[in-house]
Amino acid sequence: MSRDPRHDVLFEPVAIGPVTAKNRFYQVPHCNGMGRTFPSSMAAMRGVKAEGGWAVVSTEQVDFHPSSDLTPGTECRMWSDEDVPCLARMCDAVHAHGALALIELAHNGIYAANLYSREAPIFPSHMPLVGSVPAQARAMDKRDIREYRRWHLEAVKRAKRAGFDIVCCYAAHDLSVAGHFMLRRYNHRSDEYGGSLENRVRLFRELIEDAKEAVGDTMGVVARFAVDEMRGADGMEWDKEGREIVEMLAELPDLWDVNVADWDNDSQTSRFSEEGFQEPFISFVKQVTTRPVVSVGRYTSPDRMASLVRKGVLDFIGAARPSIADPFLPRKIEEGRPEDIRECIGCNICVSWNQVMSPMRCTQNPTKGEEWRRGWHPERIPAKATDDTVLVVGAGPAGLEAARAAGQRGYAVTLAEAGESLGGRVARECALPGLAAWGRVRDYRVYQLQQMGNVEVYPASRLDLAAVLELGASQVCIATGARWRRDGFGRAHQAPIPGADGANVFTPDDIMDGATPPGPVLVYDDDHYYMGGVIAEKLAAAGLAVTLVTPEITVSDWTRNTLEHGRVVARLMELGVELITGHELGGIGGQESRVRCVYSARERVLPAASVVMITSRLPDDALYHALTADETRLADAGIRAVRRIGDCHAPATIAAAVYEGHRFARELGESPADIPFRRELTALAEEFALP
């Protein structure tokens, strides 16, 4: 296939100072939960992006001194020469595919508690640390500022030795000391680094000038700057000091990487923002500088990307999350097959696993984080190893991915779905408020299956034990999902809640099936992710009086990790939902329910004509157990193995279901080891020839 001529502009080379990017696709710095802890995984993950066509591939933030120690975070470090080999490994992986490697040097100030280094935190002014650590950062004196510049410059020079082509001077996301100096609410100084805007910008200017003088002949120098904080006059505003700063430094860096702060704003989920929502904040930058400009917008449409370049909004299409969902996005556009892009759904599962200090994963891309550990490639998969035929029962996210990946391997696959439509929980949940983009999980896989002649799909085909045995597939995969429990069993309750067997008790499945409970409604959320919030939002938007009760200290607590917690709470408040936190559901009556404080055990009675129970789920695994109850019967039917995957195996996230479907297909014909992936310890043992 040939590339659409309208997209040719995306494949023009662009100079970044002394280096040239081969096209306009720029993977901006993003965290990944690997970093220095899992450097082989980090390097391989970045290398795959370079292979996929990204012209610039960046690190995450790399802290450059022990006074910015982010332990237990897993970001990279450039404290000393000992850190160079780890990052050089990434450069090698990126250069192997003709891409430029960028390092983002950072010092997080009040966000760095220095739990490992035990250094005193530093900041423009005296300020308590962000978070619960009982400590403060001390105000930097002139000597500290000189040392700060020296640390940064030494890290720049080490980056050059490591093989980086571009260095990014970081003042974005409310995470950088250089950026903090610019903000009036943080900078209370009266010397030449405080007061006027020119003084507050001085340190950022000096960092850029130092880098240009040291490496500017061979490395590009980027300014990454948040032009707006989306907090009005209390913060940076794009049409005031944000614009003035860009004008002040307009031609100094080789490229401007502009966005909004903080991270919660920059990486908003699709539940609360559209693609390209940052454009009104950053579109002025090209008007005040001749340097190339990059920004992000969760862009997946090549038409939209090309339009941004032609209109003079951007020179580079920046991406973090879309490059995670599909590392080969540029290559697919270049080859004229944009319909094959695994479009980012904006769920921020990638962010959340970094937030819990673990290697990232992706709902759309089950190979994310497994490039080195398991040797999984996002586009390539080994051809089938046997002549097995495969039956997949259930076309939810796990079943769709199992059928797609097994079909890609060349197996003859039959996919049977009990319902009229494909998608399982994805098809149901994407109809809930704000979750429409999640339907891309289904849409991508259904389209791929439609291109495969070796995969047959049968909707409205509920299979029982006899039907599975009669079909005679040698490999059977059960992906029949799970259903929400009605009895209240969950984290807070390990026994049924009194009254939960009443006719006025509903589950999310009932609501998604179209049930409208009578009001007032009590939504009891012991799940703590998105479901409680979206069900409450749906019912409140329908005009019902809704009270959301949760045993946690806040509603939808786990959405802190997806950077949307504040917006979840604000949305529910705007809709008039009453929020009662730190309370368990004690009993359900006809028109009221009892709730109990988890701290004091004091009870109160709430009006509740109906209760929606969001506690836990039970796997729909009856077919699996029926099949595996008699091995002789399986053998007689020619069935060599039966495996359950996804929510049928262990209810979890959609990302976990997709991963299990992919793993099933990868492991067909194999006997996985007890530890079915490589570890960094193993690599070290091999390096030193340990027994």
Q: Which sequence positions are flagged as catalytic?
A: 31, 170, 173, 266
The alpha carbon of 62 is separated from its chain's Cα centroid by a whole number of angstroms, namely: 19
The secondary structure of residue 68, as a DSSP letter, is G
Query: Among residues 404, 405, 428, 414, which one has the least CA distance to residue 463?
Result: 414
CA 669/CA 387 separation, integer angstroms:
9
CA 152/CA 61 separation, integer angstroms:
13
- Contact status, residue 260 vs residue 296, Cβ threshold 8 Å: no
Residue type, 338: P
Query: Among residues 39, 206, 16, 127, which one has the least CA distance to residue 680?
Result: 39
Query: Among residues 444, 422, 214, 426, which one has the least CA distance to residue 329?
Result: 444
The alpha carbon of 645 is separated from its chain's Cα centroid by a whole number of angstroms, namely: 22
Residues in the chain: 691
User: Hey, what are 156's tokens?
Assistant: 């720049």
- Contact status, residue 652 vs residue 660, Cβ threshold 8 Å: no
CA 565/CA 581 separation, integer angstroms:
14
Strand partners of residue 413: 390, 455
Query: Among residues 355, 347, 363, which one has the least CA distance to residue 273?
Result: 347
**Buried/exposed 523-558: b ≥16 CB within 10 Å, e otherwise:** bbbbbbbbbbbbbbbbbbeeebbbbbbbbbeebbbe
* Range list of H helices, 396-526: 397-409, 425-429, 440-450, 465-471, 508-512
User: Hey, what are 672's tokens?
Assistant: 């996985």
* Range list of H helices, 301-439: 302-310, 321-325, 329-334, 349-355, 397-409, 425-429
Tokens 């699996």 identify what position? 624
CA 456/CA 474 separation, integer angstroms:
16
Sign of CA dihedral 330, 335, 337, 340: negative
Other CB atoms closer than 10 Å to residue 304's CB: what's the count?
A: 13
Backbone torsions φ then ψ of 514, nearest 5 degrees: 110, 0
H or E, element range at 604: strand 603-607
User: Hey, what are 572's tokens?
Assistant: 């529910």
Query: Among residues 654, 38, 626, 598, which one has the least CA distance to residue 349?
Result: 654
Query: Among residues 234, 221, 288, 287, which one has the least CA distance to residue 261?
Result: 234
The alpha carbon of 382 is separated from its chain's Cα centroid by a whole number of angstroms, namely: 27
CA 33/CA 31 separation, integer angstroms:
6
User: Hey, what are 413's tokens?
Assistant: 């696959």
